[in-house]
Structure 1
Amino acid sequence: MSMNRPTATALAAALCLLTAACGGSSGDDKASAKSTEAAAAKSGYPVTVDNCGQKQTFQKAPSRVVVMNGASVAEVSTLLALGLQDKIVANQQTYGASEVAGRAAAIKALPTGDVKLNDAYDIPREAMLGLRPDLVLSTTSYGFDEKNGFATREQLKSVGAGTYVSPQGCDQDTSKMTIADSYQLLRDMGKIFNVSDRAEKLIAASEKSIAAVADKVKGEKKPKVMVLFSNMSMGGNDFSSVVAKGIYNDILAKAGGSNAFENASKTSFADLSKEKVAVTDVDALVVIAYNDPNPGAYAQKLLKEFPQWPAAKNKTYVTLSDSMYLGPSNDLAVEKIAKALHPKAS
């Protein structure tokens, strides 16, 4: 006689009640409960993470992780720094370069899931569900917005997938982001994957490195720095990828500098005319490469275009990639910028 599973389960429960033949004594039950609790404590699970007003609970470490694009490498770099690359079944993040030796190649070697991307160069709903993830990482809540053709957090939960939006990404406003958010991302991933010890070691090393640099440049004059992405257009003006606010400013401050265009916008980026850029004193350039193989050429082009800048006269510029954004390597950006701004002090 065939029987579906719910019926079989219900029948077994009924027989237990009628015959009192299932299970052992209350003492056995208590022992079993203690054994289960001990096993859970040893495994570190379940764990719960509060994320954008939602509680995400994990019964075990995710093993099918999908990393959405989001014009970021924060999430994939964090997973790699924690030694979790084997958990990734699809990654869409890449800057094509990194301050960490071997990281760009490691990212390139990750599986992409062989999915057809949408117009935002990211994973649409049906393709996402087809990947059978148990954890999906998105830089901001944009990646879970149904209006954009993405799988929602509720839809992913219904198929057993946890979801995570990186710090300051809940309202899609990264203007308040600081280095502390990079540490929060590390801690959350450490908790979810039960590798908190690794996360804390990385954080401690970063804090120590940044503190040492900040101590060396303490009391020095803070040069005005222009931070922008190379060969990238985000608006209608000649300079639409100029950084105004966000983690970049925290990094600059730790390196002994200040953002020349901090007040040019209330959001993370300023959309500036060539005239506005020309009349601003710029002591140094920080050019961030986003899949640009030669950001140095772009920096040199700007220095020639604005010879009146102190930066042009002193040829002071730095090219960076992933360390200047949310992620596990902000200490490298702080160190490199400090050396350019304060060569004698650092």
Structure 2
Amino acid sequence: MQMNRPAAAALAAAALCLLTAACGASSDGKAAANSADAAAVTSGYPVTLDNCGRKETFEKAPGRVVVMNGASVAEVSTLLALGLEDKVVANQQGYGMSEVPGRAEAIKKLPTGNVEVNDAYDIPREAMLGLRPDFVLSVTTYGFDQKNGFATREQLKQVGANSYVSPQGCDDDPSKMTVDDSYRLLRDMGKIFNVSDRAEKLIAASEKSIAAVSGKVKGEKKPKVMVLFSNMAMGGNDFSSVVAKGIINDILTKAGGANAFENASKTTFADLSKEKVAATDVDALVVIAYNDPNPAAYAKKLLKEFPQWPAAKNNTYVTLSDSMYLGPSNDLAVQKVAEMLHPDAL
């Protein structure tokens, strides 16, 4: 079980007392305990990260963290996975569901700062400054753009707040994202909050799980998989929420599959006609649910609409949510997709 820093500091002080027999009413004993507490809290600092070409230096662990929306749950999920929920004073991220038991409920319990969000469902500049943050997380540089009404990174620095843009968010191009970016986010948060041991344990467990799955499906035929969001429109065609690039392709590869529409677009999403979808052999279907209480119904509707697909003939589909994104739980997506594609191998 991981301990938070105050608990760890108290344990260090207790150990010091036992080893030196210094516990008692003397001022020397109190000074020694206070010194141990201070050392436990400040060890590992300062920490400096290069983030989107900016040097961000942390003199201590942040204690008033604001998580901007950005249509993501990667950042808040990473903080929760590291046991840092008590550091969050305002969170705008939410998904409503998760492959991790209890995560969606834990996110709902986080404070929102009682902020009135803007038209982009995010925190405007004055509200942000009023939260008195010492650390602000944004998915991309969009969340720090003055033209969008947000506090800039310079303005945050002026009030003593560090800022951070998540991996692949500097140029807002998630088409290049891989599972390694999820590990990078974990590592960066581990360094910033002085919990690198927790981050490395999570990464090691994820790598071990993914390696075990990939090893079992190695050499198997790679089924062609269609990945899309349920009941969501992002373009002008019938199928505009089909994923073509990004972390999802890395997950499919590790699970022993391939994206049926990888070459349909140079960007993350492909905007496809019904005819294009119908003309493509789809061996399996991954439906990502976002604010959809019944993604399985959407998957079954698609399989019925395209009975010529091998996926339809074999009823091969799986519904997933946050594990398919940047975040700490990609190993769960790899496991579930592999179980769908290669049930006999696993």
TM-score relative to the length of structure 2: 0.88
Matches within 5 A, 1:286-305: 286-305=286-305
Q: 3-state SS of the aligned residue for 2:79?
A: helix
**Equivalent residue for 2:141?**
141
What runs of 5+ residues in structure 1 fail to find an aligned partner? 1-34
Query: Which one-letter code corresponds to 1:174 in the other structure?
Result: P
Query: Which one-letter code corresponds to 1:207 in the other structure?
Result: E
**Equivalent residue for 1:313?**
313
Give the number of the structure whose alpha-carbon radius of gyration is greater.
Answer: 1
Query: Which one-letter code corresponds to 2:229 in the other structure?
Result: F
**Equivalent residue for 2:46?**
46
**CA separation in 2, counterparts of 1:237 and 1:116?**
34
**CA separation in 1, counterparts of 2:267 and 2:170?**
15
Matches within 5 A, 1:75-154: 75-154=75-154
**Equivalent residue for 2:63?**
63
**Equivalent residue for 2:16?**
none
Q: Is the 8 A contact 1:249 1:258 kept in 2?
A: yes
Query: Which one-letter code corresponds to 2:129 in the other structure?
Result: L
Aligned alpha-carbon RMSD (Å)? 1.3
Matched, 1:181 2:184: no
Matches within 5 A, 1:132-211: 132-211=132-211
Q: 3-state SS of the aligned residue for 1:307?
A: coil
Matched, 1:328 2:307: no
Q: 3-state SS of the aligned residue for 2:291?
A: coil
Question: How far off its partner does 1:297 sit?
Answer: 1.0
Matched, 1:217 2:213: no
**Equivalent residue for 2:239?**
239
Question: How far off its partner does 1:117 sit?
Answer: 1.1
**CA separation in 1, counterparts of 2:184 and 2:40?**
24
Q: 3-state SS of the aligned residue for 1:175?
A: helix
Q: 3-state SS of the aligned residue for 1:226?
A: strand
Q: 3-state SS of the aligned residue for 2:76?
A: helix
**CA separation in 2, counterparts of 1:40 and 1:114?**
33
Deviations 1:65-114 (A, max 9, x none): 11111111000000000000000111111111000000000001111111
Q: Is the 8 A contact 1:256 1:341 kept in 2?
A: yes
4+ residue segments displaced more than 2 Å: 38-42
Query: Which one-letter code corresponds to 2:306 in the other structure?
Result: F
Question: How far off its partner does 1:173 sit?
Answer: 0.4
**CA separation in 1, counterparts of 2:168 and 2:272?**
25
Deviations 1:31-67 (A, max 9, x none): xxxx9xx959962111111100001001111011111
Deviations 1:229-252 (A, max 9, x none): 111111111111110000000000
Q: 3-state SS of the aligned residue for 2:175?
A: coil
**CA separation in 2, counterparts of 1:224 and 1:147?**
42
**CA separation in 2, counterparts of 1:226 and 1:293?**
20
Identical columns (%): 85
Query: Which one-letter code corresponds to 1:276 in the other structure?
Result: K
Q: For this pair of structures, how many residues does the alignment match?
A: 310
**CA separation in 1, counterparts of 2:293 and 2:127?**
30
Question: How far off its partner does 1:120 sit?
Answer: 1.1
Query: Which one-letter code corresponds to 2:330 in the other structure?
Result: N
Q: 3-state SS of the aligned residue for 2:215?
A: helix
Q: Is the 8 A contact 2:42 2:60 kept in 1?
A: no
**CA separation in 2, counterparts of 1:341 and 1:41?**
47
Question: How far off its partner does 1:118 sit?
Answer: 1.1
Moved more, 247-256 or 148-157: 148-157
Deviations 1:246-303 (A, max 9, x none): 0000000000000000001101111111111111111111111112111111111111
Deviations 1:213-236 (A, max 9, x none): 000000000000001111111111
Q: 3-state SS of the aligned residue for 1:249?
A: helix
Q: Is the 8 A contact 1:232 1:241 kept in 2?
A: yes
What runs of 5+ residues in structure 2 fail to find an aligned partner? 1-34
Q: Is the 8 A contact 1:40 1:46 kept in 2?
A: no
